[in-house]
Copies of this chain bind each other. A is one copy, B any other.
Amino acid sequence: MGNDRYLNRTRRQLMKAALAEFAAKGFAGARTGAIARKAGVDERMIYYCFETKEGLYREVLRSKLAQEGHIVDSREGDDFATALVKGYESCSSDLQHVRMWLWEALDTGRRKIAAEEERRALFEREKAQIRRAQLSGHLSAAIDEDLLLLVRIGLLVAPAALPQVTRLVTGMDPDDPKFRRRWSKCLRGIAALIAAGGSPPHHRLRKASEHQEHVQ
């Protein structure tokens, strides 16, 4: 029992240190020695608990995907704009996870991505949510659900993927609370336009006609 508890604690410590190391240096650049040192654990425990560096990477990612899965479930029923803004907020508050994905994109040496099935399953759930919103008429069906998901991910990840562009273009750091508020508001506006898909919903039509009267 004491041994199980020790092993569980060791695994948690290693996974936390590994997340920081993979986020900082990517899979190829990460060193198991550095992870063990950060965790305050003997390096051999990595191999005992996870077999390989790849195994450790996979477990870190799986744990992040499980968290993400809960977030996706909790978004069920949210409209496209709310899901986008919440996605951006959870992305900005978990940059280590985002960086693991960004490193993968640049690491051309890797053959097969880790936890592929879990990732695919997560995206399938998100696509299914989008599809349901389209079928129920709350989201324009003019663009396929897979591309809409990619649009959503592209928009929510942009400031983290290109922080130097964010700084040069807006004059603000992506971590700046003021920037985060502005970007959230912008995403909400853009997502509402995409969701309406060119056909204004009833209340927007009404608002537009009120505006017309006001203008006349």
Report whether B198 and A161 are in contact in the complex, using a CB–CB cutoff of 8 Å: no
Give the chain B neighbours of A162 by CB distance below 8 A.
101-102, 105, 153-154, 157, 161
Interface: A163 (CB within 8 A): yes
Give the chain B neighbours of A193 by CB distance below 8 A.
193-194, 196-198
Q: Which residue of B lies closest to A206 (CB)?
A: B215
Report whether A116 and B168 are in contact in the complex, using a CB–CB cutoff of 8 Å: yes
| Copies of this chain held together in the complex | 2
Size bin of chain A's contact surface? 35 or more
Which of A36-44, A75-83, A184-192 is the interface stretch?
A184-192
Give the chain B neighbours of A5 by CB distance below 8 A.
none
Report whether B203 and A208 are in contact in the complex, using a CB–CB cutoff of 8 Å: yes
* Distance to closest chain B CB from A76 (angstroms): 19
Give the chain B neighbours of A116 by CB distance below 8 A.
168
Report whether A119 and B196 are in contact in the complex, using a CB–CB cutoff of 8 Å: no
Interface: A1 (CB within 8 A): no
Q: Which residue of B lies closest to A171 (CB)?
A: B146
Q: Given known contacts A106-B102, A106-B106, A153-B162, is B198 in contact with A147 (CB within 8 Å)?
A: no
Q: Given known contacts A147-B182, A154-B154, A168-B119, is B204 in contact with A198 (CB within 8 Å)?
A: yes
Interface: A87 (CB within 8 A): no
Give the chain B neighbours of A143 by CB distance below 8 A.
186, 189-190
* Distance to closest chain B CB from A210 (angstroms): 10
Interface residues of A (CB under 8 A from B): 24, 26, 29, 99, 101-106, 108, 113, 116, 119-120, 123, 127, 142-144, 146-147, 149-151, 153-155, 157-166, 168-171, 182-183, 186, 189-190, 192-194, 196-200, 203-204, 208, 211-212
- Identify the 10 closest CB pairs spanning chains A and B, nearest first: A154-B158, A147-B186, A193-B193, A161-B161, A146-B170, A123-B169, A120-B168, A154-B154, A146-B169, A123-B168
